[in-house]
Amino acid sequence: MVAKPTERFLGQKLSDAARPAQLTRTYLLNAATIAVLVGQLARWYWLVWAGALVVAVALAWHAIVLAGQVKSARRIHIGAVGFVASACCLPVGALFGAALSAGLPGQWHGAVRQAHMFTNVAGFVGLAAMGALSVLFPAMWRTRGQDRVGVALALAGAGVVVAVAGSLLRASAVTGVGTVVILAGWVWLYQGFVASALTVVRDPRGRVTYPALSALCAVTWLVGGLTWYAVRVFGGTLEVPTLPLLLGFAAQLLIGTMSYLMPVTMGGGRPR
Ligand code: HEM
């Protein structure tokens, strides 16, 4: 969960009294994740539903707490708004997942799986990644930040709502428009990232590092994968692009940002 980054983004320090509730949410989320996995493997669908409900409650609680932090901050950091929007997506996505666990009749299964993918990958993962990258990308590439994340978040958030509605209505044109709007948000951010990264040509200073390249490549996978998928969605596909989005984008971004953040926060200095 993204409680600590939110504090840092908002320049806040929560009191120690707030920590036990944060830990409770973390324990709940971990226990619920295990319940979902065991339930799915053992085909105990009641356990998948129970786990998904606990995931939904933990994330809804988390979203309310984060929103309170953002509201009480002296200066609202738009990246932290991305964390709130991200936390609002998972309760919905978890319930779609629970509905999928025992299988749904006919075309409903594909439609709900597509809605699950949009809510969880483009919404939960994507909006949190936008918020985090608005600060981490310039830090990794040692450039000045760009003021693009507000527009990017608004486009991606609206796109997720439209794409989920299109999936559930089985209206491929609506899903396609939603996908293109999500893509537009990412392209807007990506253009700023590429422009920042290209400043290394005239000012190298050892700025091309593994984490910096990983972040750039992850967003490249996302933009490429979503472009390819948008074309297929207009053609009526209900398949989901799991590999480019979860491996190319999410996993690569996570490994890249952890390779940057862990040495920095553990005191080993910046990675080279
Ligand atoms: C409580 C939480 C969750 C539950 C109960 C759940 C459940 C499921 C189930 C049952 C399926 C299989 C659908 C099928 O029959 O094809 C599925 C697929 C999928 N889930 Fe989840 N899920 C959850 C969370 C997540 C999260 C957090 C993500 C992303 C970060 C995610 C991403 C996906 C993707 C991409 C697929 C499609 C896989 C494919 O068909 O290639 N899910 N989920």
- Report pLDDT digits (tens) over 141-182: 998 877 899 999 999 999 999 999 999 999 999 999 999 999
Q: CA torsion angle for 242, 248, 254, 256 (degrees, to 10)?
A: 180
Among protein residues, the one whose CA lies closest to atom 20 of ligand 1:
117
Q: What pLDDT band is residue 30 in, cutting at 50, 70 and 90? A: very high
Do 35 and 97 touch, CB atoms closer than 8 A? no
Q: How many angstroms separate the alpha carbon of residue 97 from the centre of ligand 1?
A: 6
88 C-beta neighbours (distance < 10 Å), count: 21
Which tokens belong to 265? Answer: 């926060």
Tens digit of pLDDT for each residue in 44-96? 999 999 999 999 999 999 999 999 988 888 788 888 999 999 999 999 999 99
Residue list, ligand 1 pocket, CB within 6 Å: 36, 40, 48, 52, 55, 93-94, 97-98, 100-101, 113, 116-117, 120-121, 124-125, 240, 242, 246
Kindly report the protein residue whose alpha carbon is nearest to atom 43 of ligand 1. 97
Measured in Å, residue 214 CA sits from the centre of ligand 1 at 25
**Ligand 1: residue whose CA is nearest its atom 41:** 242
Average pLDDT, the chain: 92
State both tokens at 4: 């600590």
- Encode pLDDT of 93-131 as tens digits: 999 999 999 999 999 999 999 999 999 999 999 999 999
Ligand 1 atom at minimum distance from 246 CA = 35
Q: What is the DSSP letter of 50?
A: H
Q: Whose CA is nearest to atom 34 of ligand 1?
A: 117
What is the distance in A from the centroid of ligand 1 to the CA of 119?
10
Identify which of 234, 224, 133, 220 has the alpha carbon closest to the alpha carbon of residue 178: 234
Cα separations (Å) of 243 from 72, 217, 222, 249, 252?
39, 14, 10, 9, 11
